[in-house]
Amino acid sequence: MSSFRLWSDEIEAMRPEARAVIDAGGGAIRLDEVAEPNLSRAGQIEAARRSMAVVTFPVPEAEERAIGGVACRVIRPEGAPRAIYLHFHGGGMISGSAAVMDIPNQMVATAHNVAVVSVEYRKAPEFPWPAGPDDGVAVARELLGAVGAELGSDRLLIGGESAGGYMAAAVALRIRNELHAIERVDGLNLTYGVHDWGGTPSQRGVRATDGFDVLSPEFVNLAADSYLPGRSSEERRVPEISPAYADLHGLPPCFVSVGTCDHLLDDSLLFAARAAAAGVNVDLFVLPEMPHAFQMFDCGITRAWGDALAAWIEARLA
């Protein structure tokens, strides 16, 4: 009888190196330090926005344009695209920008010959739910129509990180339910997304591994209270808000990835398990020792994740 395992022996052997890399530096983003009790909520949000701005490096190749009335950044490949990668950035629905992932998005466009469209969706607290997902659906509608034809493909991949992982799942569900076009979406890349806005155990601080993380329960609460003001935990778990509680039947293949130190670990495990039980093709990549925003840490585990994601994207495009 085999035991249930979340990673291979090969990944297990890389854990000491990963711990050493993390111990050597906490990275540039420290959202765990943003929610200071002596700051007002507005001050905390401004601190989060400054923190994300520090790691934003726009590339000149990115074209700024409005799609469906929403500002986007478009990065085109050199040749005709094989698909359009609809991307959503992270930042807890309160911070970040489409440019924050310009460099990785440019690498995706070049490596896989896809056109990347990253959405500058509206953020809380100025624009709480459902403003952000509404923007994502507006862009998706155009990419499935005239704008997609202009860019050169009628196929979509959808993905994002953190709040962007949430946005990718939420928008995909609305493409299925409202646009009735989920068959045009070839895959969802869901990187440490927020899938339960009511608060999983790991969000509340009960984690599998008590190591360094970019996030904290205080920041998660700040983000949720800003994005979903006046709603109880149960009200935040309605399927329209929290993808983990939605009917997941009929979604395209999903690549779900998360680190064991991440305060959003349980969100990814719950979504992946429920999607797989609903018959969705799910690849789950759990990174032991790794925090939120694990791409900041170059080690064997994150390189293995990058290789696996690249292979998954190629399989979807094939």
Tokens at 48, concatenated: 């989060």
pLDDT surpasses 70 at 144 = yes
Given this model, what pLDDT does residue 17 score?
97
Given this model, what pLDDT does residue 229 score?
98
Given this model, what pLDDT does residue 32 score?
65
pLDDT surpasses 70 at 19 = yes
Given this model, what pLDDT does residue 25 score?
77
**Which range is least confidently modeled, 33-47, 74-88, 143-157?**
33-47
Given this model, what pLDDT does residue 104 score?
97
- Comparing CA positions, the residue from 223, 49, 45, 71 lying closest to residue 136 is 71
Given this model, what pLDDT does residue 93 score?
98
| pLDDT tier for residue 110 given thresholds of 50, 70 and 90 | very high
Spell out the domain ranges in the chain. Answer: 29-317
pLDDT surpasses 70 at 153 = yes
CA geometry: angle 62, 315, 276, nearest 5 deg = 105
> What is the model's pTM?
0.96
CATH value of 29-317 in 2.40.50.140, 3.30.465.10, 3.90.1200.10, 3.40.50.1820: 3.40.50.1820
Given this model, what pLDDT does residue 56 score?
87
| pLDDT tier for residue 242 given thresholds of 50, 70 and 90 | very high
pLDDT surpasses 70 at 29 = no
